[in-house]
Amino acid sequence: MSRRSITASTNSLFRTHCEAHTLGGTGPPGTGRITGTGTGLSTCCCFGRAGRSVPECGPRTRRGGACNLADAAHPVTALKTAPISLTQREREVAGLVAEGLTNREIATKLFISERTAEYHLEQIRNKLGFHSRAQIAVWMTAQAANRGRVDPARVIQARSWPRARRLSAVLAVTAIAATGVAIAALAINRSAVPVASPVDSVIQIDDGTGRLIGTIPTDARGSQLAFGEGYLWEISYSARTLMRIDPHSRAVVTTKGVPVGAPPIGLAVGAHWVWVVMAFGEKSLWRFDPATNQWSDPIGLGTGLAGIAYGDNEIWVSNKNNNLVYRIDPTSNAVTATIRVGRAPEAISVGFGKVWVGNALDATISEIDANSAAVKGTIALRGAPTAIATGFGAVWVVSEAASLLERIEPSTDAALVVSVDSGPSGVAITGSSLWVIAAGQVVRVDPITRALGTTRYINGAEAISADDRSIWVTVHAP
């Protein structure tokens, strides 16, 4: 495919964006200004001959100023390819985004949970430095065009992408140019995720009997749960909120918006604080004080954070972009250790004097000594880890991709495998049982015999947490 044939379909996404923002909209052909930046990329629009606008990026344009026709003569891509490559699964998700599928449609097509689809999408955004689905769609289209495998017109204008979504993509790119990436990220990400309905809920299940105890209606589409400080806490990726739920009255007490435009993706409770990890941004770790009902100053750990856990009187946070784990003193907020682990660390748990970190790309667990902050070993798994919990003398790891639950003996690192149908995406431990959430099922597992027990079929089950006597599950409306 020639350099000039990125197709009118891809360029149309940028035309309005460029015409409104190249030298005040009155510049001569062949000139333009940088109109948006992101991690590892810049977007510069140039008017080509015959008034055709094309996006172009280069090291020079990152420093500011105008671009010219000589720059536009280079191989044209929708957005600069980031130095970090996507995994095969992430490319699948990006391709489906380019076809216009929603997170729920992606989850159905790939046989994964909606939460996992959301998570893959956030990984793509962080790796490429993007803040919207429109950017991912255009980037993926350009990648396919440069390889000569897919006609961009088919991807951008496919029947599966309704007119409203194509218009939304154009407006998204225009918004990025007009208002800046930070504001656009907030607006676009909100519109990209299905809006929660009042029938979304959190349900309580009795640990001993598996009986449904109660239902708590919520006004936000929950994405993760944690129990602590006498309350159940839920974050909403789409609504960008932190919700406090009273487990006794089974009522929502307060709902607080997160203090930044980035959506929350990780949650832990410890040292009298609620700790929330944001999807991107330099100020990506925030503390919420349950006593004052206020956010405190953030801790700047950079973008790419994924998992968070509290244990051994420390906060532990994984950074999937830099393959690092941070140890943070919750009293001083100081980073006391930076630990290099495997590739794309995400899930994290603390127990038995160690920190257990799931490395998604390596399909391994990094075993960190909590006192010395030194990596003591690496454990190979049968499948990429999705979630980790510790209890009953073992480390429990679920793999959604491999449909497995693995039990790891912490003293020997020996692993035993339990097959779980439908791809488990979460695991929680009560005072007497182990529970796994998997594609609309919540399954009780005997921690001694590893036999599967009570199974509750819950359409829309997404996240799971536990106290000593109950299981709490986020449920989305169908």
pLDDT at residue 68 is higher than 70: no
Residue 469: predicted pLDDT: 93
pLDDT grade, residue 199 (50/70/90)? low
How far apart (Å, rounded) are the C-alpha atoms in residues 252 and 260?
Answer: 22
**Residue ranges matching CATH 1.10.10.10 in the chain:** 8-192
The string of DSSP codes covering 403-432 is TEEEEE-TTT--EEEEE-TT-EEEEEE-SS
Q: Read off the pLDDT of each residue in 433-439 and give the average, rounded to a whole number.
A: 91
The pTM of the full predicted model, rounded to 2 decimals, is 0.66
Residue 471: predicted pLDDT: 96
Fold of the domain built from segment(s) 8-192: Arc Repressor Mutant, subunit A (1.10.10)
- What separation, in Å, do the N-terminal and C-terminal C-alpha atoms of the chain show? 43
Query: Is 425:115 a contact under the CB 8 Å cutoff?
Result: yes
Residue 476: predicted pLDDT: 87
How far apart (Å, rounded) are the C-alpha atoms in residues 305 and 476?
Answer: 25
In terms of CATH, what superfamily is 201-475?
YVTN repeat-like/Quinoprotein amine dehydrogenase (2.130.10.10)
**Residue ranges matching CATH 2.130.10.10 in the chain:** 201-475
**pLDDT tens digit sequence for 11-62:** 433 343 333 333 333 333 333 333 333 333 333 333 333 333 333 333 333 3
